[in-house]
Structure 1
Amino acid sequence: MSSIGVGLIGTGFMGKAHALAYGAAKAVMGDVPDIRMEVLCETPLDKAQKMANQFGFARATDNWRDLLSDPAIDVMSITTPNMLHHEMALAAIAAGKHVYCEKPLALTLDQAREMRDAAAKSGVKTMVGYNYIHNPAFTHACRLVKSGAIGRVVHFRGWVDEDYQADPNLTWTWRSTIADAGLGALGDMGCHLVSMTYGLLGPVNSLIGDMQTVHETRPLADGTGHARVENEDTATALIRFESGVQGSISTSRSAWGRKSRLAWEVHGSEGMICYDQERMNELQLYQNTGNPAEQGFKTILTSPHHAPYGNFCPAPGHQLGFNDLKVIECATFLSALAKGEDAYPNFNDAFEFEKLIHAVAVAAREDRRVIVAEFG
């Protein structure tokens, strides 16, 4: 595949992130195919035309189905609200397009399963937007765990908190509805934590869960009253990995002061590794070696020793950002396409992540321990 034609649906936060990533992937990573920014889709049409010019796309449309029959498009990037992922991805797969879709895959696990199965049957390649797991700090942490740097893993604790729904006076939006958003904090943020959890320690066998809606109603934007919030603001689970290691995960979208507190600790028999997304270029490592009077956590700053950091910057401690992780993710997908290989995480991998968040919801509603394999 000498060059790859891209069609992008959506121009919000993630749409811009995809556009920036496509534009930078070759310049940063080098060994990726040439990109043709073919068509951008947005509504209304005048906005689509404006954003196509801004993002560097050759053409614009206000009908996403135009991308399906366009022979110049090899990959469709889906960055729309959650409720549209399912229909768009299935149509793209049926049209033989590769799909780069933002997480979560869909509103329900049944929809996500259908997307996974359709991609597997068709043979098209897929990628899902879990860009945090492409962070050089995270991949180094995975290597430390695997190498035994902290001994035998004995416990895991993870949490992901933000405050974008903490204000009770914030107006009601589609994010509060199951029909449009699906799960709340679990679907929006918890799945990111799960993607890291799986990368560090592998699949979860079973769990016990709980959820709550902190603000049960929110004021309507027109001032006519309040509407009910249908999904969860917080969720917590006690988890048991297939390896036998136990731990916990928790998420809240109503945690004042937290902006992107995706944090975790891996406890080992000989030390601990800690990470916090708000300080995403650092790892904290404790190793129970040497003089006890001089032991303590050390800070590892990402550097060219933690590939592919060096593709962005030759100097340690200068730091990568959210959009840089998107560039790594995008380049990973483009390289896989060129080689005819599967990228990680694809629809199958994302389905495994999302099985866990739906298992937490079922465990909370039914007040029982859930075996994750029940969800297929």
Structure 2
Amino acid sequence: MVERNKSIRIGMIGYQFMGKAHSHAYRDLPFYFDNPLKPELKVIAGRNESAVKEAQEKFGWESYETDWLKVIERDDIDVIDIVTPNHTHAEIAIAAAEAGKHIITEKPLALTVDEAQKMLEAVKKNNVKHMICHNYRFVPAVQFAKKLIEEGKIGRVFHYRANYLQDFIIDPNFPLVWRLKKEVSGSGALGDIGAHSLDLARFLIGEFSEVTATMETFIKQRPIGEMTGGLSAKGDSSKMGEVTVDDAVAVIARFENGALGTFEATRFAGGNRNKNKFEINGKKGSIRWDMENMNNLEVYFADDAEGEQGFRLINCTEETHPYAGAYWPAGHIIGYEHTFIHLIDEFLRGIAGDYQPAPNFEDGVKNQILLEAIEKSAEERRWIKLD
């Protein structure tokens, strides 16, 4: 255990979309939650000096580095937060673990199962706390759905169906950024957004037993380019390159508890900016959730009176709902950024209380096994059993 209000010193590797989200979470955490540790934003790192210097000043970090190894080598850093492209996660995390730093990293955990397992071995060997940033677990409505399921309110689960729909790369002139290169990202829609749907399913109803899938790349070549922040990018239309990841994936799954699952992830669903949703059907009821209306949970209970049955809408902002009591009066909604605050709160409580928070690198390995099984199924056109 640690003394209350003790500072914990953060070093962040990366500074763009997720760097902004994580930085905001560290800064706002003490405002809303009485966490025993107070984040101290010591250093942020990135290769582009002018860009990382701008991020350092804007996000409120004390200093910046252009070499991530220098951050890990510093004695005044307790936590390494990894928000870099996927192909760098393993090298940075293993080095951080060997240096005795606690680690939080963006998803997916790595490019391959082998890399992910080596990361897990490193954090266990060096007895450091670790977490993977599946932030959608920390939506109050999702946490409340978990509570209802655990209490048996919907009974035995028959179906889990999930869609994660985006549309930001439909334009064939959208550049060939790192998210569209297998050697950097590992996979496309599958690992970028489908990984979140798979993790939510594991969190809510349990482990997978087998999967079958199909994948498609609709646009094979794009102008060479780079991300410019958020999901925006710029490119050079005179230079073209090959897209080496999937644009869309569809999965049918069986769970160990006997439930069936269907999953769709695509970045070609016009009109859907971030449509992350699921529906769970059980013997005694059903649950629906949609990230674009993240504060609301739809529930149906079969034992309602005849003539009164149907989905009801719960706005999960009452003090009885998870996390809601830390914010505003009922009906005063919170947003996407608060999911990261909740995740960081759990991470730091794990460090302070000397317990391993979740989701962690073990979850990351299990998700990586799922991702590889889905890719293998799509390639070989058959069911794949999960070990």
Same fold, judged at TM 0.5 (above): yes
2:100 to 96, 100, 123: 96
Q: Deviations over 1:104-157 (max 9, x none)?
A: 111222211111111112111111111100111001101111222122211111
SS in 1 for 2:94: helix
Extract unaligned runs of 5+ from structure 1: none
Q: Supply the AA of the counterpart residue of 1:77.
A: D
Distance 1:336 1:285 in 2: 32
Instruction: Report what 1:105 is aligned to.
Output: 109
Give, in angstroms, the shift of residue 35 of structure 1. Answer: 2.1
SS in 1 for 2:142: helix
Instruction: Report what 1:80 is aligned to.
Output: 84
Q: Deviations over 1:18-49 (max 9, x none)?
A: 11111111221113312221111123334333
Does 1:364 pair with 2:381?
A: no
SS in 2 for 1:299: strand
Give, in angstroms, the shift of residue 183 of structure 1. Answer: 0.6
Does 1:285 pair with 2:299?
A: yes
1:167 to 167, 171, 175: 171
Asked if 2 retains the 8 angstrom alpha-carbon contact of 1:205 and 1:242, the reply is yes
SS in 2 for 1:247: strand
Instruction: Report what 1:240 is aligned to.
Output: 254
Asked if 2 retains the 8 angstrom alpha-carbon contact of 1:26 and 1:32, the reply is no
Give, in angstroms, the shift of residue 225 of structure 1. Answer: 4.9
TM-score, normalised relative to structure 2: 0.93
SS in 2 for 1:262: strand
Does 1:336 pair with 2:350?
A: yes
Instruction: Report what 1:195 is aligned to.
Output: 199
Instruction: Report what 2:28 is aligned to.
Output: 24
Extract unaligned runs of 5+ from structure 2: 225-234
Aligned counterparts, 1:193-232, within 5 A: 193-220=197-224, 221-232=235-246
Distance 1:222 1:25 in 2: 40
Change (3 A) 1:124 1:290: closer
Give, in angstroms, the shift of residue 294 of structure 1. Answer: 2.1
Instruction: Report what 1:53 is aligned to.
Output: 57
Identical aligned pairs, as a percentage?
33
SS in 2 for 1:294: coil
2:324 to 296, 300, 309: 309
TM-score, normalised relative to structure 1: 0.95
Asked if 2 retains the 8 angstrom alpha-carbon contact of 1:281 and 1:317, the reply is no
Give, in angstroms, the shift of residue 3 of structure 1. Answer: 2.1
Q: Supply the AA of the counterpart residue of 1:293.
A: G
Asked if 2 retains the 8 angstrom alpha-carbon contact of 1:41 and 1:62, the reply is yes
SS in 2 for 1:103: coil
Asked if 2 retains the 8 angstrom alpha-carbon contact of 1:167 and 1:254, the reply is no
Q: Deviations over 1:31-90 (max 9, x none)?
A: 331222111112333433332222222222111111122111000111111121111111
Q: Supply the AA of the counterpart residue of 1:190.
A: G
Task: Identify the range of structure 1 (117-126 vs 184-193) with the bigger mean alpha-carbon deviation.
Answer: 117-126
Change (3 A) 1:44 1:219: closer
Q: Supply the AA of the counterpart residue of 2:323.
A: P
Instruction: Report what 2:366 is aligned to.
Output: 352
Distance 2:261 2:65 in 1: 48
Does 1:253 pair with 2:271?
A: no
Distance 2:379 2:60 in 1: 47
Distance 1:290 1:89 in 2: 50
